[in-house]
Amino acid sequence: MSTKTTLGIFGLGTVGTGVVALLRDNPQFDIRAISVRDRGKTRDLDFSHFEMNQDPFKLADDPGIEILVEVAGGIDPAYEVVKRAIANGKHIVTANKELIAKHGPELFALANQHNVTIFFEAAVGGGIPLISTLQRGLQANRVSRVAGIVNGTTNYILTKMEREQKTFADALAEAQAAGYAEADPTDDIEGRDVVYKIAILSSLAFQAPIEVDKIYRQGITQITDLDIKLAREFGYRLKMIGLAQRGESDALDVRVHPMLIPVGHPLAGVDGVNNAIFISGSAVGEIMLMGPGAGRYPTASAVVGDIINIASAVKLPDFAQYFQLPISSNVSEVMPIGESENGYYIRLETHDSPGVIGHLGSAFGTHGVSLHSFTQRGVTEDGTATIVLLTHQVKEKQLQAALEEITAHPTTKQISVVLRVLS
Ligand SMILES: NC(=O)c1ccc[n+]([C@@H]2O[C@H](COP(=O)([O-])OP(=O)(O)OC[C@H]3O[C@@H](n4cnc5c(N)ncnc54)[C@H](OP(=O)(O)O)[C@@H]3O)[C@@H](O)[C@H]2O)c1
């Protein structure tokens, strides 16, 4: 009987190619078959000696395959293929954040039932060993907060805007030209990608799943180079953040939005396509893991690490139980954004008329919002004044009430952007 661990690889794109390249000369593994959408496609490497098919369910049904490696992405058909493979007794290694964020609890339960495991190190933070850190390395801790830069595309765009004074549109175009942003960048710039990732991190940190649809999300499209410049003048850098922390009630405070990060905070120094995750734990204190959050070999490093971990343990009795996730089956509530507390950065355009400042002060005062800093940027020819304010910590619903009052006032042209400040 062969002592090799047998694999089926579903997907041969950016990540799958890296996985096969790392494993092809490893005598411990036998890649039985690879599924792709289009067998005729020209590939970066020569895969002609592998059995290739266009039906991933064949991998799920093949009794000769021990581990199904899902690096295709998306829900359809990955969800059904993975379920079928689990039901057939196969272990799963996946890089698919959407699959784990949306269907993780159901898949973990199914895996427990069939005594197999699901590893997903590459699903968040690419090559950074983050999932295993939360799952195993930090077991002695009560984690109170996870805050991460987990989308390289938005971090690249914001870095370009700051360092090279680019507009959002120019920085996005550069990210696309460099291959960091998709032709349709919506999932990245509107924060959807980060929602999946923070949902996964939250479920590991707080050991309870949450529903992705409940997570508040704000993208980076409203941010201008002026905001980045002003934030810097106030002592902050702008970053797209996935945040998950314990709230006052049982509900978890989980959200995705750009934030002003104090320049001295470790997350403020994370530039370009890098990812970083800042974790606060009761015993360890504060740690930050940083590194390449995407790319062929960094991501393949995480996938192959999972494969090797499973292969080295798979022959042990009850091995799957050892790797069972300590995640409750009860879904945790997510705190409504109005209940969250933040400092705020607000940029608004007003008519340049007497009494504007007094009115703003009174509207904020009425709703208990206390101001930290204030600046006015010139007045345009059409009599528009740009005013930028920073507030102290306040409940979001109080801020929103003040902003409603300000919006209704005749001297207000528009509230252009409201951003939160990390404390
Ligand atoms: N790219 C990264 O840096 C990165 C980082 C972290 C996590 N991930 C995750 O890794 C996964 C894969 O990403 P990727 O960038 O490698 O994607 P990709 O380059 O688009 O590759 C997807 C692969 O899956 C195959 N595929 C898709 N649908 C299929 C179907 N119905 N039947 C058979 N094969 C199918 C495609 O076949 P064809 O080649 O024939 O089209 C392709 O080989 C995703 O879940 C992604 O979120 C990626």
pLDDT digits (tens, 9 = 90+) for 161-203: 999 999 999 999 999 998 888 889 999 999 999 999 999 999 9
Locate 51 and state its tokens: 């059995």
DSSP string computed for 116-149: --EE-GGGTTTTS--HHIIIIITTTS-EEEEEEE
Q: What is the pLDDT of residues 367-380, one digit of tens each?
A: 999 999 999 987 88
- Ligand 1: centre distance to CA 96 (Å): 9
Please give the pLDDT value at position 318: 80
- Ligand 1: centre distance to CA 95 (Å): 9
Give, for 108, the enclosing helix (H) or strand (E). helix 97-113
* Nearest CA among 186, 348, 154, 172 for reference residue 258: 154
> Which residue ranges in the chain fall short of pLDDT 50?
none
Report the alpha-carbon distance of residue 92 to residue 325 in Å, rounded. Answer: 14
Cis peptide before 77 (omega within 30 of 0): yes
| Domains of the chain as residue ranges with CATH | 5-127+296-322 (3.40.50.720), 131-291 (3.30.360.10), 337-421 (3.30.70.260)
* Nearest CA among 372, 363, 378, 377 for reference residue 345: 372
Nearest ligand 1 atom to the CA of 16 is 16
- 211 and 334 Cβ atoms separated by less than 8 Å: yes
Per-residue b or e along 324-348, where b marks 16 or more CB atoms closer than 10 Å to that residue's CB: ebebeeeebbbbebeebebbbbbbb
SS3 396: helix
Q: Determine if ligand 1 sits within 6 Å of the CB of residue 192.
A: no
Q: Determine if ligand 1 sits within 6 Å of the CB of residue 11.
A: yes
Q: Determine if ligand 1 sits within 6 Å of the CB of residue 14.
A: yes
Q: Determine if ligand 1 sits within 6 Å of the CB of residue 203.
A: no
For residue 178, give the amino acid letter. A
Please give the pLDDT value at position 249: 86
Q: In the predicted model, what is the mean pLDDT of the chain?
A: 95
- 308 and 389 Cβ atoms separated by less than 8 Å: no
Please give the pLDDT value at position 2: 63
Within a 13 Å sphere around the CA of 21, how many CA atoms are in the beta-carbon half?
Answer: 17
Q: Determine if ligand 1 sits within 6 Å of the CB of residue 13.
A: yes
* Nearest CA among 16, 72, 90, 109 for reference residue 310: 90
Task: Please identify which residue in the block is written with the tokens 């039901």.
Answer: 87
- 344 and 234 Cβ atoms separated by less than 8 Å: no
Nearest protein CA to atom 44 of ligand 1, as residue: 73
Q: 22, 37, 50, 188: which to mutate for ligand 1, most atoms within 8 A of CB? A: 37
Please give the pLDDT value at position 322: 78
- 33 and 53 Cβ atoms separated by less than 8 Å: yes
User: What predicted TM-score, i.e. pTM, was given to this entire model?
Assistant: 0.96
DSSP summary character for residue 310: H
For residue 404, give the amino acid letter. E
What crossing angle do the helices spanning 97-113 and 192-206 adopt, rounded to 10°? 40
Q: What is the pLDDT of residues 136-162, one digit of tens each?
A: 999 999 999 999 999 999 999 999 999
Sign of CA dihedral 354, 355, 361, 363: negative
Q: Which residues contact 272 (CB under 8 A, 6 or more apart)?
A: 152, 155, 156, 159
For residue 309, list its beta bridge partners: none
Beta-carbon count within 10 A of 368 CB:
12
